[in-house]
Each structure stands twice: as C-alpha cells, then as structure tokens.
Amino acid sequence: MVIIAPMQDRQLTPFDRLLAAVDSSLRTISSAPTRATRSNPAAGIDEGTLTADEKAHAAGLMRVNHAGEIAAQGLYQGHAAVARDPAVENQMKKAADEELDHLAWCEERLAELGSGPSALRPLWYAGAFAMGAASGVLGDKWSLGFIEETERQVSDHLSGHLERLPDGDLRSRAIVSQMRDEEEVHGANAGAAGAAPLPTPIRELMRAVARVMTGTAYRF
C-alpha cells in the first residue's frame, strides 16, 4: 500500500516556493476578478448620490487602495518565499489570503464607480515582491519588522482616505474602514511574532516609495 503524506506535512523545496510565488503573482495581476471568501463590508449599504467629480475622486482613491493590496500580495509572498521559520511563513500566507478579500472588495467598488484598477499592476506586484524577498533574506525578524512598519503606514494611509472620501460615499467608507482595522491586526501580529524595529532611514524611504505609488495609481 502506498501512503501519501498530507500536503500540509510536506516540506516545500525552494523550487516549490518559487512555483507557488509565480502562481500567486499570475493570479494577483490577472484581469480576472478576484473572488472574496467573506462578505463585502458594503453589502446592504445603499449607494449614495454622488456627483461625477465625487465619483471620479472616490474611484481614484479606491484605485490607490487596490494598488496597495496588489503590493501587499507581492510583499507577503516575497517574505513567505524566503522565510526560514515555517510558523512565520504560514503567518505571511494567512495574511496574504485575508488581503485577497481586500483586493476583491476594491475591485467590486471600482466597478460600481464605473472605473477599474491601475494599469501598472505588474509593476506594483514585482516591486513589492522584490522588497519582501530582499528584507526576508536578512532574517525573519527583519522580515516581520518590514511587515509591521508597512502595515502601520498603510493604516495611516487608509485613515487619510476616510477623511478624503466624499461624505456620501458610505459604501467605499465601509470597505476602507474594515481594511484599515485588519491591516492594524496584521501589523500587531508581526510585532508579536518578534519584529525588529526598522531604522529611521528605511522607514522614510518606504514612505517616499508609497507616495510615488499612490500619486501614480490615482491617475493610472
């Protein structure tokens, strides 16, 4: 009798991880709609009356948020690909799975606003994956530190979007609010897992890169 070990007990080789990363990247940047595993936070909330300018502005902000979630997938998958501790790898993958819901919710809202995601999705993913893998090579504590700081900055960014979204756009507000809450949890989990505080120059560089991405994704 041949006994096949459960998939969760199988030790992944570096090549297995590479194939998984390639598969994840293709699914993330494809034009096919992302499927959420949880209900959209905007479900049951009536569409408000928005002017054409308000719709365009809300779409720009949600496109930025969608681009951020594309980058989050790259970041988490990059970290997971080089993680040394299986527990850290699993934590990264779990967070990436949860953030797929964010991706789907943003896509749904963009469609409702008559718009679509950034045309530069492959760039956002590739850049974030490279940064995630590069920081992960230094060790899990630095990888976790990168995640903790990223999620802190993303939470601040989403709080700013809640202030900038049109008052009547309750559907977008519901989505962004839940995204922010969950990003804060991901950051806290990384801290609890042993994240190392990043040097100030690195944190400032991350903010500068984020400003470039958000300014570009708003328009393209």
Identify whether 203 is part of a domain: yes
Q: Tell me if 198 is assigned to some domain.
A: yes
Let me know if residue 1 belongs to a domain: no
36 inside domain: no
In a domain, 4, yes or no: no
Instruction: Evaluate whether residue 147 is within a structural domain.
Output: yes
> Which pLDDT score is estimated for 171?
97
Q: Is the pLDDT of residue 185 over 50?
A: yes
pLDDT of residue 31: 53
> Is the Cα torsion angle 213, 215, 216, 217 positive or negative in sign?
positive
Please check whether residue 38 lies inside any domain of the structure: no
- CB under 8 A, 24+ apart: contacts of 17-23: 17/80, 17/81, 17/82, 18/81, 20/77, 20/81, 21/77, 21/78, 21/80, 21/81, 21/129
In a domain, 155, yes or no: yes
pLDDT one-digit tens code per residue, 60-92: 999 999 999 898 888 888 877 777 788 777 777
CATH number for the domain spanning 165: value is 1.20.1260.10
Task: For 2-25, write each residue's pLDDT tens digit.
Answer: 333 333 444 545 545 544 554 554
- Domain boundaries, position 129: 50-219
Q: What is the mean pLDDT of the chain?
A: 84
Count of domains observed in the chain: 1
Torsion angle of the four alpha carbons 178, 190, 92, 12, in this order, in degrees rounded to the nearest 10: -160
